[in-house]
Amino acid sequence: MKKQAFNPYLPSWEYIPDGEPYVFGDRVYVYGSHDFFNGCVFCMGDYMGWSAPVNDLSDWRCEGVIFPRNGDPCNADGKMCLYAPDVTRGPDGRYYLYYVYDKVGFVSVAVCDSPAGRYEFLGYVHYKDGTRLGDRPGDEPQFDPGVLTEGDRTYLYTGFAGHGDKTRHGAMCTVLGPDMVTIEEAPVFVAPGDQYAEGTGFAGHAFFEASSIRKRGDTYYFVYSSEVMHELCYATSKDPRGPFVYGGVIVSNIDLGIDTYKPADRPAAIGGNNHGSIVEIHGQWYIFYHRQTNASWFSRQGCAEPIFFDGEGKIRQAEITSCGLNGGPLKGEGEYPAYIACHLYDEKKLDLYSGDPALPKVTQEGGDGDKRPAYIAGIHEGVTIGFKYFDCRNVRRISVTCRAYAHGRFEVRNAYEGPVLAQIPINSSNVWEKYTAELTFPDGKQALYLTYRGPGNPHLGWIGFEK
């Protein structure tokens, strides 16, 4: 790779959640919705395209606007938001973009000759009599489309099942014909919502939203966001129309359930909803997901982690990291931006969900679209910032670059609640200042945890390793 790959994998000023990754030709394309920095609701922007060479997952290229918010006749005034989309290659070799706006219950389709766009409106998914899916009496509203094409048939997965809502049964699958918009087989339910999960393998991890579908070998993997929102789960079937059997959690954006380095029931970050899917790139499978920033639900960023299957096709839950697509630990030398922290929490207030402005957060200066590097704010007594992983060799000094009112210290650890290896004193400053401490840092694959002690609220911009 030309450089190292981090999480988030796109620039720190870009907010593309709900990532659906695909390999088309020699590039990986990610299709997602488009949040704004300091956005007031979800998905305020046009669809933006991003892609990278399959052999260099650090080299992401912006393809520009692939579909504008007002590109559909039903939203000519641009007042509705484009929710999470998905893309599939049709039997004619063209690429089809499926999406739903925030205030309607039907699925729109756009088409393009290239996976990179620009997509043009085609029509709406409809029954043979012309009635749109979602408009027929008895139809449930459509939401978060996920698509898979095999031969002349396209399987469309949709649905939303809010907590306690008995009118929403769960995720559904609809079969489309070769024109990519006409229904050949009516919807069937493939995963239950929380009101219909009792007595099934889905109980406790019932379907909420974020339908996605992939095939590995002869097995279909239905990926979705569960009722607890911060996790992406999967279910499997040998038939795309089900029945699907619950498989487990692929990733949690707060690492709940991971017990390899901490208790399983303790969150390592402040999260929120989740959406993404799995993809194979050069023989390695990954899960793409998103994280929350700016102490808000509405400024989400894409992340990714490698995943591994056992001999029965089960997926082990992935641990969230700073090095996601890098193919291994980051080099334990030089400086790194603090926004690649994968762990961020207050030891006295272990919130599962974002939204409290008093909690630590990744943020930036300026407005949406300003290409200003992100940093960590909201730091106070007892806040921990964690990074994983680094390949360390002969590290003898650790540094932090900070600013703002503070007169305290950062405790340095290489393990969750491990012994303090060093302390880095910091002082108030209106400009970024670098502070260092000597220590003997262990060699090998290491985590880095920084816990703030003292008064004030420093900003953390960079961390560094020196030999």
Hey, which residues are catalytic here?
A: 18, 209
Rounded Cα distance between 105 and 133, Å, is 8
For residue 43, give the amino acid letter.
Answer: C
Kindly state the tokens that stand for 282. 């050069």
Annotate 3-57 with DSSP letters as a single string.
S---SSSS-TT----S-EEEEETTEEEEE-----TT-SSS--S-EEEEEEETT-T
25: left (phi over 0), alpha (psi -120 to 50) or beta: left
User: By the 8 A CB rule, do 244 and 222 touch?
Assistant: yes
Kindly state the tokens that stand for 221. 């993997």
- List, in order, residues 6 or more apart from 129 with CB less than 8 Å away: none
Half-sphere exposure of 366 (CA within 13 A, CB side): 11
- Tokens 């707060």 -> residue: 254
User: By the 8 A CB rule, do 342 and 325 touch?
Assistant: no
Number of Cβ within a 10 Å radius of residue 55: 12
Sheet hosting strand 95-99, strand order edge to edge:
86-89, 95-99, 108-112, 120-124
Kindly state the tokens that stand for 208. 């909420």
